[in-house]
A and B are shown apart, each in its own frame.
Chain A
Amino acid sequence: MKTVYKKPEPITNRPTTYCPGCPHGIAHRLVAELLEEMNLTSETVIVWPVGCSVFGYYFIGTDAVEAAHGRACAMATGMKRTHPESFVITYQGDGDLASIGIAETVHAAVRGEKITVVYVNNGNYGMTGGQMAPTTLIGQKTTTSPYGRDPKLTGFPMHVPEMLATLEATAYIARASLDSPQHIIQAKKFLKKAFNAQVNGIGFSLVEMISSCPTNWKMTPVAAMERIRNEVLPVFPIGEFKVAEGVE
């Protein structure tokens, strides 16, 4: 018998605090697999966000810091600028990155900070009870858009990779999805390029991972993954938006 897949070493033995079927855990595993495969674990610092993944440092066993809500890219900048030999990742939700932390994120991208952002978009504020996020779909009901998101009142879903790809100093910008095995394999390929962008010193890299929040979407994990395919991906298409020279 030959081992074809194996739980990566950096995933700790501590079970996660996530709800059953929450794709945060898939995103964690992808990060851990690449750290292991690319031999980066021991030089890595992960900046964890405020959001459901606030305890991420218990689940991926690297050096870690816990940022204030939205400030991960600024904190990562301080770490990477003073210790360029560290491999610095931020892991952020859509409320954290696209709402309260958008300025820090955009300016890190503008400056071409050599950090990698794992941006997990589940279309709402999971941790605080499923409130509307900048990424919430039109018509989607959340605890603070009980009549459905109305674009006349709160605009349209925010496409972070498309925005950031317009900035010259970004090295790798992509959107992947965590809904199916095929998409997860692709997400890992994208994330690997994002890691490469940092390892090769090219510039800022970010991979958005379309995720679900079964608990606040009030769906089974399986139905939530189906909703990603049927409703979310048509609005948030998968793809690479920026691949600078030297990344591949």
Chain B
Amino acid sequence: MGEKTLMKGAEVIAEAAMRAGCMAFFGYPITPQNEVPEYFSRQMPKLGRVFLQAGSEVAAINMVYGAACTGTRVITTSSSPGISLMQEGFSYIANSDVPCVVVNAMRGGPGLGDIAPAQADYFQAVKGGGHGDYHSIVIAPYTLQEEADLMFDAFDLADKYRIMVVVLVDGLMGQMMEPVEFKEWVDVKKFKTPDWATVGQRDRDHRNIITSLEILAEGLEKMNFHLQEKYKIIEKNEVRFEEYKMDDAEYAITAFGTIARIAKTVVNMARDEGIKLGLIRPITLWPFPTKLIEKRAEQLKFFFDSELNAGQMLEDVKLAVNGRKPVYFYGKLGGIVPSAEDIYAEFKKHIKGDR
């Protein structure tokens, strides 16, 4: 602790995960996050932990599912097309109540798209993606330091709620370098195999069955109620966000991840010109800071949402604002990252009409 290391974002993910007690990695190569498995492949064997390159993302997520069933801290990392392949597994994991962490370094889509930074998988991560009524906790860091810290929280939340936690970053965050201070290594010797894990019954007085199947509709409804109850508790306890210069704000940018970084500069540009602009940055995309936005709607003249997509988080902002104030949008597609000047200019177009 106390020492700062200059590191690439992708490697920060791997290093932080290992320090947080991640015992196993399963994954399949895909740009722009190959440095993550590469780093794991160098370090995990030294720690006596598992690194395995799977035959596909389909195989990878099901290995994660298997490891999760044993109560092991496990991770996979991928990028958009690979994450698409994993959706079936996510859905099974959700209805099995097992914990795991998944990192998506989003790239431009749809289809093979490109390898440039994007945020176009917001819907997929936040609104399900796989089949059935389920949620994963979705965390979106915006600096490498936050990324390093949140990897610990990701594993803790996954274990606490027996849920999948998605760390949603973009290609830019994977590739940039920043000085990072890591938290201390978690003592993995203290980990105990949980009572629900399927590792063979041994001394346990009951056997464990982990399944997402329940053929009777009444039974499946019960399983769904259980999930919904869990989601309610998470929505109550785990919403995280950052506000920047919001106290006296008349306008707010809403943005997450890379765009939120740029948006801070935009806020300062506006403040230099005497415009009372602030930033609301959801850190958890699910659960979403709905209440906060609802509250801020009272003081604001309008919201200005900016993302690297055609307007995805925008829908959640609009739902929270619920028509009380205008919500404008500026997005870039296909992997283009706008400059602070671009965003500021777009924002000012609306302010003219407003004044």
Contacts and interface: CB of A to CB of B under 8 A. Distances in A.
Contact of A77 (B63, B207, B213): B63
A81 B50 contact: yes
A239 B113 CA distance: 49
Contacts of A54: 213
B210 A104 contact: no
Contacts, number: 131
Contacts of B24: 78, 81-82
Interface in A93-149: 103-104, 106-107, 111
A48 B52 CA distance: 23
A30 B35 CA distance: 46
Interface string A48-91: 10000011010001111111100100111111111101110000
B23 to A, nearest CB: 6
B209 A79 contact: no
Interface of A: 41-45, 47-48, 54-55, 57, 61-68, 71, 74-83, 85-87, 103-104, 106-107, 111
Contacts of B23: 82
A48 B56 CA distance: 21
Nearest to B211: A66
Given A42-B200, A42-B202, A76-B66, A64 B55 contact: no
Interface stretch (B2-10, B69-77, B232-240, B328-336): B69-77
Contacts of B56: 103
Nearest to B65: A75
Interface string B56-93: 10111011111111101010000000000000110010
Interface residues of B, number: 39
A53 B257 CA distance: 45
A43 B202 contact: yes
A231 B238 CA distance: 61
A78 B67 contact: yes
- Tell me the interface secondary structure of chain A in the complex: helix
B59 A103 contact: yes
Given A66-B213, A78-B26, A81-B24, A47 B202 contact: no
B58 A74 contact: yes
Interface in B196-216: 198-202, 207-213, 215
Given A78-B74, A82-B23, A63 B55 contact: no
Contacts of A57: 209, 211
B106 to A, nearest CB: 24
Contacts of B202: 42-43
A92 B32 CA distance: 36
Contacts of A64: 198, 207-211
Contacts of A83: 70, 72, 199
A164 to B, nearest CB: 14
A57 B224 CA distance: 21
Given A68-B92, A82-B74, A61 B210 contact: no
Interface centre among B62, B68, B92 (most CB of A within 10 A): B62
Contacts of B26: 77-78
